[in-house]
């Protein structure tokens, strides 16, 4: 388990590096096609640095805001606080901030940059539909994301994917409204290398959001299996999480405040699940989570 956590930390570094690199390439392509020159490069560098630092410190706030999460009242949600405190004592984790999302769909997610600056959000539907054992299992899963250092890269992904998609979309709209003349000059006709770089930049800006989303999917899937396993290790009761996942599988309510940017944070796919019924494995290629049946089978084999 500790080897998996160490591997997660290494993968987190490489994934963050990958997102920063992709954001830098998108910015460089943006500068090349708009012919910003040295000033443009400096602006791009500042955008990458500022957005990366801002993402590191504020991406958890963005995820909570997008999900319309509000701080959980300790008296109104005493059961939630008691379960989290007990699990934190057992795991040695500092107690995360707790949030409530007013939504009938049962779901939950964790966010933050490290265990000392973490938060767990649960829906009112989860609190209503799970018994104490099942709720404890779900919370153990989310605390495992914190203990396994999944939360940093999963939360950073929210803002990184959004930034890459925003830059690409802005440029493509600019090119459309300028009639494709932006960045072109007579010199390009006599300089094949410049033309090649411009074509590469244009293609990169088109496909960058897709690349970013694929990286987002890579972040989530394997980490869910590890969080399931370490969550069960924390509660020492696999049937609790198995029962919770079965309830989640049978419930087809979508989260109203969920979005593609935050989908990978939740314990299971939060978007329209009715439309995903009957899909083949090819249809699940771009799912943010492994199928619940596979996760249940993995837990049953423990």
Residue 138's nearest CA partner among 125, 155, 149 is 125
104 in the same domain as 9 = no
178 in the same domain as 49 = yes
Q: How far apart are CA 297 and CA 254, in angstroms?
A: 24
Last residue of a domain, one of 195, 211, 227: 211
167 in the same domain as 129 = no
The pLDDT value given to residue 59: 77
145 in the same domain as 271 = yes
Q: How far apart are CA 235 and CA 136, in angstroms?
A: 8
The answer to whether residue 142 is catalytic is yes
The pLDDT value given to residue 284: 54
* Helices (runs of H) and strands (runs of E) counted in the chain: 9, 4
Residue 291's nearest CA partner among 268, 259, 266 is 268
- Return the sign of the alpha-carbon dihedral for residues 86, 89, 91, 96: positive
E-strand stretches of 84-187: 97-101, 108-112, 118-123
The pLDDT value given to residue 278: 46
Catalytic position from the list 134, 136, 142, 269: 142
Pairing of strands 118-123, 97-101: parallel
DSSP line for 196-219? HHHHHHHHHHHHHHHHHHHHHHHH
By 3-state DSSP, what share of the chain in percent is helix, strand and coil, each rounded to 5?
70, 5, 25
225 in the same domain as 204 = no
232 in the same domain as 131 = yes
pLDDT tens, residue order, the chain (302 aa): 556 556 666 666 777 777 777 777 776 776 666 665 666 667 767 776 777 677 778 878 988 998 999 999 999 999 999 999 999 999 999 999 999 999 999 999 999 888 999 999 999 999 999 999 999 999 999 999 998 888 877 766 766 676 776 667 666 666 665 555 555 445 544 555 555 556 666 676 677 667 766 766 666 667 888 899 999 999 999 999 999 999 999 998 888 877 777 877 899 888 765 544 444 444 455 567 888 999 999 999 87
158 in the same domain as 146 = no
Q: How far apart are CA 274 and CA 252, in angstroms?
A: 6
Question: Across the chain, which distance is largest between two alpha carbons, in Å?
Answer: 73
Q: How far apart are CA 133 and CA 241, in angstroms?
A: 8
Residue 263's nearest CA partner among 50, 94, 48, 105 is 105
What does DSSP assign to residue 165?
H
Write out the two tokens for 101: 């999302």
234 in the same domain as 144 = yes
Query: Can you give the residue range of the structural domain that contains 184?
Result: 2-59+153-211
Inter-residue contact 264 to 221 (CB < 8 Å): no
Q: How far apart are CA 269 and CA 267, in angstroms?
A: 7
144 in the same domain as 8 = no
Neighbours of 68 (CB within 10 A): 15
Last residue of a domain, one of 192, 211, 230: 211
226 in the same domain as 140 = yes
Please tell me the total count of domains within the chain.
Answer: 2
Last residue of a domain, one of 211, 232, 254: 211
16 in the same domain as 136 = no
Q: Collapsing DSSP states into helix, strand and coil, what is residue 22?
A: helix
In which order are the strands placed within the sheet that holds 108-112? 70-71, 97-101, 118-123, 108-112
146 in the same domain as 72 = yes
């Amino acid at each position: 388990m500790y080897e998996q956590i160490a591997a997660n930390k290494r993968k987190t570094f490489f994934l963050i590096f990958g997102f920063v690199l992709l954001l830098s390439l998108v910015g460089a392509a943006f500068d090349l096609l708009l012919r910003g020159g040295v000033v443009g490069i400096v602006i791009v560098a500042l955008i990458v640095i500022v957005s990366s630092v801002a993402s590191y410190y504020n991406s958890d706030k963005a995820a909570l805001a997008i999900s319309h999460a509000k701080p959980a009242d300790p008296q109104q949600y005493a059961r939630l606080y008691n379960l989290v405190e007990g699990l934190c004592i057992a795991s040695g984790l500092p107690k995360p901030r707790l949030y409530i999302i007013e939504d009938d769909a049962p779901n939950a997610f964790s966010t933050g940059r490290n265990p000392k600056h973490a938060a767990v959000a649960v829906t009112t539907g989860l609190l209503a539909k799970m018994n104490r054992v099942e709720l404890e299992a779900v919370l153990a899963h989310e605390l495992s994301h914190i203990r396994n250092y999944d939360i940093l890269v999963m939360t950073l992904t929210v803002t990184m994917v959004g930034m890459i998609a925003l830059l690409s979309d802005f440029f493509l709209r600019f090119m459309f409204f300028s009639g494709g003349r932006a960045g072109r000059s007579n010199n390009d006709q006599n300089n094949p290398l410049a033309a090649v770089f411009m074509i590469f930049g244009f293609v990169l800006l088109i496909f960058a959001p897709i690349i970013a989303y694929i990286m987002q999917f890579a972040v989530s899937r394997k980490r869910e299996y590890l969080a399931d396993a370490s969550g069960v290790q924390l509660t020492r009761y696999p049937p609790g999480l198995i029962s919770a996942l079965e309830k989640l599988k049978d419930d087809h309510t979508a989260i109203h405040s969920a979005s593609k940017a935050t989908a990978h944070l939740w314990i299971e796919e939060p978007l329209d699940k009715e439309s995903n019924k009957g899909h083949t494995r090819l249809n699940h290629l771009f799912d943010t989570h492994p199928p619940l049946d596979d996760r249940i089978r993995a837990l049953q084999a423990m």
